[in-house]
Structures are given as structure tokens and as C-alpha cells.
Structure 1
Amino acid sequence: MSELVEHVDEQDRVLGVVERGEAERQHWPHRIATTICRDRAGRILVLRRSETHSRFPGYHDVMVGGAVNVGESYEEAAARELSEELGVRVPVRFMFKFLCREGISPVWFGVHEAVVSECLIPDPGEIGWQDWLTLDELRDVIDQWCFVPGGREALRRYLESGSGSGAGELAAG
């Protein structure tokens, strides 16, 4: 069965309901809910998508997430995606959203933050590898590893917002 999403405009207002594949083929903006996870020590979760993932296989990311279902809020979708992809149920906090024009098609990223202290149970169909990196470690790899489009921008905005340990250091480094 095809995945239905809300086709939105440049201001994130709903224009209609379409199949996600059609939105991507037509380059119509739609919504993606994402979460940047950190642990109590301030490390950020970095993951590598599985090699069989339908979008950006083998790419790294700092965001866990997926398409927002029709009628679903960004926050609901972010919490659902954390549970589906990492097997954790923790509160998510909405941070910001931005229109990302890089990648398969334009998407509105609704970026959330979650502090995760429980064990992760990653879905192997989604995630091939994950680790918690300090900001220094992340700074060493952010421009070397192949990241999902929008991931670097989301991380920069996240750190500039004052979130995470050492906010602003990565963007300035």
C-alpha cells in the first residue's frame, strides 16, 4: 500500500493529500518529522542507514524520523518514528522546522530533541549502525562522512538554538 502524505506549500500549509512517491516525483513539498537524540552526557546519536533503506542507503544522519502521516502532528510523528526505528518511547520536544530543498524532493523538516537514556533496539531495516558521539568526535566526521541531505543543516540549526552540550561549537568549528 502506498504511503499518503500531505502536500504542503512554501509556508507549510496543507494543499492536499498525495502519495509520497508522487510528491517526490513532482518535487512537491511534504512533511518529515525528525528527532536529534542526545544522551545525558550530551553526546549526539549518529546513525548510518541500512544498505537496503529505500532512501539514502548507507548514508549517515543525526536525525531519526520519517514522513508525517495525514492528519498527524510533527510531534506525534516524531514520537512514532523513535519507537519504530529505535524501539524507545521518550518525550520529544519540538525545536524548529525548516524547508530543505536538498535531496529527493523539498521537505519541511520538523526537528525535535529527545534525551534518551534507555537501550536502543534499532530496526535493522532502517539502521545499519549507530553510536553516541561527542561534539569533538562529530566535528571530526561531519564533513568526511556522507550524510543525508539536510542532516548537517539540521544539526547546525540545532546547536545554534542552544540545545545540546557545547551548543554552537560545531557550527563555529
Structure 2
Amino acid sequence: MGELVERVDEQDHVVAVVDRGEAIRQSWLHRIATIVCRDGDGRILVHRRPDDDSRFPGQLNWMLGGAADVGETYEEAAARELAEELGVHADPRFILKFLCDGVISPYWLGLHEVVITGPVQPDPREVAWCDWLTEPELEEIVRRPEFVPDAREAFNRYRAPGT
């Protein structure tokens, strides 16, 4: 068995512990925690996924993150993913959660935000390239075909009034 995740229902209640690959193949809902990283000037970190990644290889994204482990809250998963992918230890702030149809499979997406004032050390297995962009610069590349489609939906929800 591979990576274990909690299968959840349409209300985000746990119904079982399952293999993540099986959850994807069966289109079972599970939890994904993401982090939007800003610097002290308000710019947003954008990265390109490695070309050999199994999900969205070589595509651009404005969020870091991944599946929540069994028993892990969205916030705990976001903090763990931030440490794993950027070498940054912080407590990301929860922003929003929504049921994402997902290009690969459906899932609940918890979006968090953190301000990073020190250096980042991207894990090359997770981040092939990264740079800090202003919101207008990010808005321009979000529309490009090489941008992760699920991340585009999250960006639109993040920018929606009242968020």
C-alpha cells in the first residue's frame, strides 16, 4: 500500500482510510492542503513543478502543498508541506476550503497563506524553479495553458470578493 489518506464525504467527514492512488483512481474525495507564500512586499511565490512529477509535470503553480496525512488537520498538513517543499517552518493561516472537481480526481482543497521573510530552500523533487511575482504578474500567468488548472480555480476563489 502506498500513501494513506482519509477518504471523506461531500461534507468533508472521514469515511475511511484508503491508499491515495486508489482514491484518485476511484475519484474518492480526500483532503489536500495548500499554501500561498507571500514575501514582506506582498509578492507571491510561483513555482514550476519538476518535469518528472507524476501530477502536472513542468506546469506552473502559485500554491505549494499536498495530501493531508491520516489524522492530520489542514493546518498541520500545510505546515508540514511548507517545511518539506521550501524548508520553511511556520504556521500558515487558513484562508478558505472548497470542494474542487480536480483534473485528476475530486478533493477538498484547504488553502492557507504565510508570509516568508527569510530565505527559502526549495526541494528540487518538488520545485524545479520559483520566483516572487506581483499580483498583476501572477494574474497574467494564471491564464496560461501551462498553469495547473486546479490552481487556477483556487486563484479565482482566493480573489473573489469576501475572501
Q: Indicate the TM-score class for this superposition, using the shorter chain for normalisation.
A: over 0.9
Whether the aligned pair in 1 keeps the contact of 2:93 and 2:114 (CA below 8 Å) is yes
Alignment deviations for residues 70-129 of structure 1 (CA, whole Å, 9 cap, x no partner): 000000000000000001012210111011112111010010000011111001011101
- Counterpart-to-counterpart distance in 2, 1:43 and 1:86: 16
Aligned to 2:73: 73
SS at the partner of 1:85?
Answer: helix
Amino acid at match of 1:7: R
Report what 1:104 is aligned to: 104
Structure 2's unaligned 5+ residue stretches are none
Stretch moving more, 134-143 or 59-68: 134-143
> RMSD over aligned Cα, in angstroms?
1.4
Structure 1: unaligned runs, 5 residues or longer: 164-173
Q: Distance in 2 between matches of 1:119 and 1:5?
A: 31
Instruction: Give the count of matched residue pairs.
Output: 163
Q: Secondary structure of 1:29's partner?
A: coil
Q: Structure 1 residue 39 and structure 2 residue 39: aligned?
A: yes
Report what 1:14 is aligned to.
Answer: 14
Q: Structure 1 residues 134-143 or 16-25, which shifts more?
A: 134-143
Q: Which residue of 1 aligns with 2:133?
A: 133
TM-score (norm: length of structure 2): 0.95
Identity, in percent, stands at 58
Measured after TM superposition, the shift of residue 162 of structure 1 is: 6.2
3-state SS of 1:54 partner? coil
The separation in 2 between residues aligned to 1:46 and 1:25, in whole angstroms, is: 28
1:36–1:44 CA contact under 8 A, matched in 2: yes
Separation of aligned partners in 2, 1:141 and 1:90: 27
Amino acid at match of 1:43: R
Partner deviation per Cα, 1:26-80 (whole Å, 9 max, x = no partner): 0001000000111111111111101111211101111100100000000000000
- Alpha-carbon shift at residue 145 of structure 1 (Å): 4.5
Deviation, structure 1 residue 11: 1.0
Q: Contact 1:60–1:145 (CA<8 Å) still a contact in 2?
A: no
SS of the equivalent of 2:55 reads coil
Shift of residue 161 of structure 1? 5.6
Secondary structure in 2 matching 1:127:
coil
